Amino acid sequence: MTARDNSTAPTSPTDLTRRSLLAAAAGLPALGLAGGAWAQGSDKPEKEEVRIGFIPLTDCASVVMASVLGFDKKYGVKIIPTKEASWAGVRDKLVNGELDMAHVLYGLIYGVHLGVAGPKKDMAVLMTLNRNGQAITLSKKLADAGAVDGASLAKVMAKDKRDYSFAQTFPTGTHAMWLYYWLAAHGVNPMKDAKVITVPPPQMVANMRVGNMDGFCVGEPWGHRAIIDGIGITATTTQDIWPEHPEKVLGTTGDFVKKYPNTARAVIMAVLEASRWIDAGLINKNKMAETIADKAYVNTGVDAINQRILGRYQNGLGKTWDDPRHMKFFDDGAVNFPYLSDGMWFLTQHKRWGLLKDHPDYLGTAKAINQTKLYAEAAGALKISVPKDPMRSSKLLDGVVWDGKDPAKYADSFKVKG
């Protein structure tokens, strides 16, 4: 437990009022610059109220906590978190300006920018909100038939020929890409061997309960919720598919960044502070879980959230383990830089699965979307380190290395494709 863990824990979730949270935050060591760092002179935010959409998922936490803990006020903005029902709704409200920003799927932003996920509009990624922490769930019925992981699922599907249905949350989004990559790595073509449907995250568990799908990929707490409710098992975590993978981002339109650059920078700083606060220790993580479990945010039991954010996993079949690569929001700043190679990876998968007919300008698109300069300004002001190279190298579960150096070759290299 770190030195930042010595704030007093509330006696119950209902005690976790805005006032007690602010007091807890005030008890922490200084988390950055003094108040009003960017809130005066030529750096004053052009827009003071910022509506940020979110979907009820654990990884909306840094946006919510930036507002609840008052980190936004420090930088001259007021974050108004707005709860949305689906990723398609988030997309539409970002495009038409009802939302200023959103806790959003990486691949949704890229899909809209290229016109393959709805209306085409220039988009921007301000920062990465979290890494890891999603899961693929298989129904209890499939598990009883012997499908408990990728290899055994492929065997069951080959033996018992029928229509198999799997759900993801948005066609170009992260969950679709994790699901497709995992199935394909085990020889199952998601485009030919199964039916893939789109279901909003909070509706996944209810749909599995009534038998609408054999499996789904979604963010927490809905994977763990399926286990608590006894209707599904965790077949794999997404950090086992791509260790330290990027997940949600803080997204907006290109027009917003051009019109309100100081506002965008101020929000990045507030969310960075909240990210650092969450990852500072056990007590803060538990306070976060109690806060976002509320009806206004994720609307679930605290017990569905607070285990996996600490890396305490169970698969629903008696196996338990501690995962060092659980969901992280800050990790000394390693989480939040919007690597160009991360965005480019989603484009390679969009091409792989036929969402893009031709190879795009991979690097040019990533440079247009990912606001690395603006992020570096915000991080620098908070003395958070920024990587020298906007590309990074990763090895995925099939042993294939992604480093962004030859994206077209990488996209074309997969045997299983759409």
Residue 209 is assigned to a structural domain of this protein: no
pLDDT in tens, 353-373: 999 999 999 999 999 999 999
Q: Cis peptide leading into 190, omega within 30 of 0?
A: no
In this structure, are residues 219 and 59 in contact, taking their beta carbons and an 8 Å threshold? yes
**Predicted confidence (pLDDT) at residue 308 exceeds the cutoff of 60:** yes
**How confident is the model at residue 41, as a pLDDT?**
65
**Comparing 16 with 104, which gets the higher pLDDT?**
104
**How confident is the model at residue 42, as a pLDDT?**
80
**How confident is the model at residue 345, as a pLDDT?**
98
**How confident is the model at residue 32, as a pLDDT?**
35
Q: What is the CATH number of the domain that holds 319?
A: 3.40.190.10
In this structure, are residues 374 and 126 in contact, taking their beta carbons and an 8 Å threshold? yes
Residue 235 is assigned to a structural domain of this protein: no
**How confident is the model at residue 28, as a pLDDT?**
38
**Predicted confidence (pLDDT) at residue 34 exceeds the cutoff of 80:** no
Mean pLDDT, rounded, for 149-154: 98
**How confident is the model at residue 2, as a pLDDT?**
34
Residue 285 is assigned to a structural domain of this protein: yes
Residue 21 is assigned to a structural domain of this protein: no
**Predicted confidence (pLDDT) at residue 258 exceeds the cutoff of 50:** yes
pLDDT-derived band at 4, boundaries 50, 70, 90:
very low
Residue 154 is assigned to a structural domain of this protein: no
In this structure, are residues 69 and 277 in contact, taking their beta carbons and an 8 Å threshold? yes
pLDDT in tens, 94-133: 999 999 999 999 999 999 999 998 899 999 999 999 999 9
Residue 44 is assigned to a structural domain of this protein: no
**Predicted confidence (pLDDT) at residue 22 exceeds the cutoff of 70:** no
Residue 208 is assigned to a structural domain of this protein: no
**Comparing 345 with 27, which gets the higher pLDDT?**
345
Structural domain containing residue 100 = 49-131+247-339+360-390
**How confident is the model at residue 64, as a pLDDT?**
98
- Kindly list the distances between the CA atom of residue 227 and the CA atoms of 102, 204, 223, 309, 397, in Å, as whole numbers in the listed order: 29, 12, 7, 16, 24
Q: How many domains does the chain fold into?
A: 1
**How confident is the model at residue 323, as a pLDDT?**
98
Tokens 């390679």 label which residue?
348
Residue 141 is assigned to a structural domain of this protein: no
Q: Please give the full DSSP string across 151-190, using - where no structure is assigned.
A: HHHHHHHHHS-S--EEEESSTTSHHHHHHHHHHHHTT--T
User: How many residues would you count in the chain?
Assistant: 418
Mean pLDDT, rounded, for 264-274: 98
